[in-house]
Amino acid sequence: MTESNALDPEDRKIVTLARSARVRNGVPEGAAVRDDTGRTYVAGTVSLRSLELSALRTAVAMAVASGAASLEAAALVTEAESVPAEDLAAVADLGGAGTPVLLAGPDGAVRATVSAG
């Protein structure tokens, strides 16, 4: 478990961005990823008749589509108690097996930090 106040400022930033996406879009999840150059990509859950994507997989896809070569960190804001395996796999595909994923509740408090892959 990681205290939100003890987070690195850049990690706190991606948690805040993920929380904002969730609230702004009225979706179940918000996510943000930071690439190896410091750029951030923010997304919410995608729920269309023809396409369903979690917020974290959407943020990873946005990073890939924008030319990101790797990830430094990811954040997921959700009511769920854990990060789905598919989300961790997507982060690991781009960032590697040790990429940290911050899991936060809707209030932005980080409940856990898990490693992708």
Q: What is the pLDDT of residue 70?
A: 97
Question: What residue has token string 């269309």?
Answer: 48
- The pLDDT tens digits along the chain (117 residues) read 444 458 899 999 999 999 999 999 999 999 999 999 999 999 999 999 999 999 999 999 999 999 999 999 999 999 999 999 999 999 999 999 999 999 999 999 999 999 997
- Whole-model pTM: value is 0.93
Structural domain harbouring 95: 4-115
Q: What is the pLDDT of residue 1?
A: 43
Count the domains in the chain: 1
Give me the CATH number covering residue 38: 3.40.140.10
The CB-based long-range contact list for 25-31 (8 Å cut-off, 24+ gap) reads 27/55, 28/55, 28/78, 28/79, 29/54, 29/55, 29/56, 29/76, 29/77, 29/78, 29/80, 30/55, 30/76, 30/77, 30/78, 31/55, 31/56, 31/58, 31/59, 31/74, 31/75, 31/76, 31/77
Amino acid at 36: D
